Amino acid sequence: MLVRSPLPEGCRPSVRAAYAPEAKQLLLEVDLPGQGIIPQAAEFRFVAQRKEVVVQPRKEAEAKDLYRRLLARLALHAIEEGFAVTAPALVDSVLFNGHVQTKDRATGRAIHPCLVSVVAERDSFAELVLDERELDPALCLRHLNAIVSQHPYDLEAVAPVAVFDLTKYQFIEEVDVASTLDSRPDLVQMDPFAFEHLVRQLFEARGLEAWTTQASRDDGVDAVAINRDPLTGGLCVIQAKRLKTTVPADAVRALSGVMEDKAAAKGILVSTAWFGKASVDFAHRNGRMQLIDGRELKSLLKEYLGIDALLGLPKVPPGWKPQDLQ
């Protein structure tokens, strides 16, 4: 596949691939070329008087732009090849993570920063005219809602959409929780696995494209979703907490940190409980966070999934009414 593609010398990548059958997704982790792939010489000029060839060095700004465009073009090529060699019935999307094998100039240690991460849907990708000369590969990645390093030439890493480590991260088997619930499920008493997937189904019903990235929740991220809206869309981090008491303010602040780490456009914290004033004020100041308490969650489940749920909280939260739990 990619290792046999007719690419220029130095551009043929090292590829690791896997297939997630439940999600019909091809996963590609690609080692992209380092900055040294860009020639330092912009041109060679012959000086007749001295009878010698003088090297005209390339400007730094030009080298950075060339490298940025090269990485974008290689990412698009890898995704295109991924779709080309797989059957549409088996692969709906390609998850691409582009890394660089290099050394940290501050420590001398080997590092493997991710510079490009994107999930491309087959139907959307098929609409691209990749051989159009006027196509800007970097803008094309932005059109696909890719997460791209703002300074790839400086090896400034980004948090990938999903980490390609199959021993720790996995695409959880799709579970249709809504179809297996009783008519009046208690959200507080639900199995954590079922609750997490119910939240996933809710956001997919609202038009987001979501998937579970880590079942153990070691880093607190339950789901990552893509909003395709051209005005308000982008990467969205979703956390689901099944609690009986007030959501700790630290949980809200932690979500803000995860949003920054993953360069997410929005963060959503969902809970069966309620939020205190400090949490609400913090989310308001942040401007990119949405807090969904148990009362609103009940309403959304009813509206989008037709589930009339219960909230088995030990007490009625401040400002709520007893019927809000029923």
Q: What pLDDT score was predicted for residue 254?
A: 87
Q: What pLDDT score was predicted for residue 220?
A: 37
For residue 128, give the H/E element and its range. Answer: none
Q: What pLDDT score was predicted for residue 87?
A: 87
Gap between the Cα atoms of 160 and 156, Å rounded: 13
Nearest residue to 98 (alpha-carbon basis) of 129, 139, 141: 141
Using a pLDDT cut of 90, give the percent of the chain over it: 19
Q: What pLDDT score was predicted for residue 259?
A: 84
How much is the pTM? 0.50
Residue tagged 């974008």 (tokens): 72
Q: What pLDDT score was predicted for residue 182?
A: 47
Looking only at the bridges linking them, the beta strands covering 266-271 and 289-292 are parallel
Gap between the Cα atoms of 44 and 49, Å rounded: 15
Structure tokens at 157: 């890493």
Query: Which three-class secondary structure state does DSSP give residue 291?
Result: strand
Looking at the DSSP assignment, which residues form a beta bridge with residue 134? Answer: none
Q: What pLDDT score was predicted for residue 121?
A: 92
Residues 6+ apart with CB under 8 A from 42: 56, 57, 58, 59, 62
> For 83-121, how does the pLDDT look when each residue is reduced to its tens digit (9 = 90+)?
988 888 888 999 999 999 888 878 888 888 889 989 899
Other CB atoms within 10 Å distance of the CB of residue 105:
9
Strand arrangement of the beta sheet that strand 234-241 belongs to: 209-212, 223-227, 234-241, 266-271, 289-292
Q: 141: exposed, middle or buried (C-beta count within 10 Å: 0-12, 13-18, 19+)?
A: buried
Q: What pLDDT score was predicted for residue 179?
A: 52
> For 254-306, how does the pLDDT look when each residue is reduced to its tens digit (9 = 90+)?
888 888 887 888 889 999 999 999 999 999 998 889 999 999 999 998 888 88
> For 214-267, how does the pLDDT look when each residue is reduced to its tens digit (9 = 90+)?
443 433 346 777 777 666 667 788 888 888 889 999 889 888 888 888 788 888
Q: What pLDDT score was predicted for residue 170?
A: 41
Residues 6+ apart with CB under 8 A from 286: 256, 267
Amino acid at 146: A
- Which 8-state DSSP code applies to residue 310? B
Gap between the Cα atoms of 10 and 88, Å rounded: 31
Residue tagged 């493997």 (tokens): 112
Q: 48: exposed, middle or buried (C-beta count within 10 Å: 0-12, 13-18, 19+)?
A: exposed
> Would you say 85 and 1 are in contact if contact means Cβ atoms under 8 Å apart?
yes
Q: Tell whether the model's pLDDT for residue 5 goes beyond 60.
A: no
Q: Taking residues 125-141, what's their average pLDDT?
A: 91
Residues 6+ apart with CB under 8 A from 144: 118, 120, 124, 125
Q: Taking residues 125-146, what's their average pLDDT?
A: 90
Q: What pLDDT score was predicted for residue 162?
A: 66
Residues 6+ apart with CB under 8 A from 71: 32, 98, 115, 116, 152
Q: Taking residues 151-163, what's their average pLDDT?
A: 79
Q: What pLDDT score was predicted for residue 231?
A: 61
Gap between the Cα atoms of 242 and 190, Å rounded: 8
277-286 vs 249-261: helix axis angle to the nearest 10? 20
Q: Tell whether the model's pLDDT for residue 10 goes beyond 70.
A: no
Gap between the Cα atoms of 144 and 124, Å rounded: 8
Query: Which three-class secondary structure state does DSSP give residue 197?
Result: helix
Amino acid at 130: L
> For 13-69, how does the pLDDT look when each residue is reduced to its tens digit (9 = 90+)?
677 888 877 778 888 888 898 888 888 888 888 888 888 888 888 888 888 999 999
Higher-confidence residue: 135 or 23? Answer: 135
Higher-confidence residue: 214 or 125? Answer: 125
- Which domains are seen in the chain, by residue range? 2-35+61-154 (3.10.310), 177-325 (3.40.1350.10)
Q: 12: exposed, middle or buried (C-beta count within 10 Å: 0-12, 13-18, 19+)?
A: middle
